Structure 1
Amino acid sequence: MIITAIDTNIYDQPEFVEGRDVIGVRFEDLVLDKRIQRVALPGGEELGLRLNHGHPILREGDVLKADDKTVFVVEIIPTDVLVITPSDIHQMGFVAHSLGNRHLPAQFSKPGELTEKAAMIVQYDHTVVSFLDEHGIEYQRTELVPPIPFRHSGHTH
């Protein structure tokens, strides 16, 4: 079966799953924006994704396939990340500048979203841990599903 579009998400339309089993099909963060890929369903059946150009990235809960009894949905595997919580604006600027020079993709959370303080979230990297430890910057290593997949963006100097 070839899927060319995803038009239902169980979190947007929870009534879609009423009376059916929901089975997650696990995806890594790195493949959520790939338009063309093969997906193995639990039980061995394969689906082909051939999404149109401009199709939004896959999201948690997107329906891949459904029948009268079962709904197969995207389940995103948590990513190993560092949640960095600088102590003040000076330390935040220092961290953002230093890690930005490495061209690391980063995301940010507001106070209360992940921690009590605002946080910078980057994928786990042992060299980043060494940098943070060396400069006494508070962080926590954890696994989470980021709201937006991490992507390296092209750049020029």
Structure 2
Amino acid sequence: MVITNICGNLSDPAFRGKRVDALWLDDVEAQKRILRKNTEGGRDIALRLEAGAQLRGLRDGDVLAEDAGTVVAVRLLPVPALLVRTAAAAEIARFCYEIGNRHAPLYAPDGTFSCFAVRYDASLEQLIRQLGLAHEKKDMVLSRVDQLKLLSPHHHHHQNGDA
């Protein structure tokens, strides 16, 4: 089955009560435009997401297909992560700078910007220790919804097609 778009989310009323055939993905797989994988029920799924769907990314509970009372839905796997908590602006700035230099995706899972997560890596854990930041290693879902993005200063946005 080739999937090009997202049909909705399990939280939508239209999908309540339907049987779910889960497509288990980690955070890296959930950001790919092209992927081939089997669902929990054994369905062969080929993802070839259109630009808009790929830009949005796959989120936990996204419905990819529906047939005969069953929906194929994305379920995100927890992965080892480092969770850093700090409210000190200088610590946040230094931490974000160092993570950005390593081009590691950074997440704000609680939306408060006093708690950050990165996928576990021994060198990142060593860096966090060197920075003197309180942290813990924890298995958690890293969702693209919580991923922080920075636009390049060379990236321009125009409204109404103006150049």
For the aligned pair, the TM-score class normalised by the smaller chain equals 0.7 to 0.9
What count of residue pairs does the alignment treat as equivalent? 148
Structure 1: which 5+ residue stretches go unaligned? none
Which amino acid in 1 is paired with 2:47? L
The structure whose residues are more often helix, as a share, is 2
- RMSD of aligned alpha carbons: 2.9
2:139 matches 1:133: no
In structure 2, the partner of 1:16 is: 15
Q: Shift in Å at residue 40 of structure 1?
A: 0.7
* TM norm structure 2: 0.74
**Structure 2 CA distance for aligned equivalents of residues 53 and 96 of structure 1:** 29
Match for residue 30 of structure 2 among 29, 32, 36:
32
1:32-68 per-residue CA deviation (whole Å, 9 max, x = no partner) reads: 2322222212343312222222323111111123223
Using the TM superposition, name which of 50-59 and 71-80 deviates more.
50-59
Q: Percent of counterpart pairs with the same letter?
A: 28
What is the match of residue 51 of structure 1? 49
CA shift in 2, pair 1:151/1:86, >3 Å = closer
Counterpart residue number, 1:99 = 99
Tell me if the contact between 1:107 and 1:120 (Cα under 8 Å) persists in the aligned partners.
yes
Given that 1:81 and 1:121 are in contact with CA atoms closer than 8 Å, whether structure 2 keeps it comes out as yes
Cα pair distance change 1:96/1:40, threshold 3 Å: same
The residue aligned with 2:155 is none
Q: Secondary structure at the match of 2:129?
A: helix
Alpha-carbon distance change, 51 to 105 in structure 1, aligned in 2, over 3 angstroms = closer
Task: Note if contact 2:4-2:47 (Cα within 8 Å) is conserved in structure 1.
Answer: yes
Aligned: 1:122 with 2:118: yes
Cα distance, 1:144 vs structure 2: 1.7
Letter of the structure 2 residue corresponding to residue 33 of structure 1: Q
Match of 2:143 in 1: 147
Aligned partners of 1:131, 1:71: CA distance in 2, in Å? 43
TM-score normalised by the chain length of structure 1? 0.76
Secondary structure, counterpart of 1:95 in structure 2: helix
Q: Decide whether aligned partners of structure 1 residues 44 and 7 sit closer, same or farther in structure 2, where only a CA change above 3 A counts.
A: closer
Given that 1:3 and 1:48 are in contact with CA atoms closer than 8 Å, whether structure 2 keeps it comes out as yes
SS for the counterpart of 2:58 is: coil
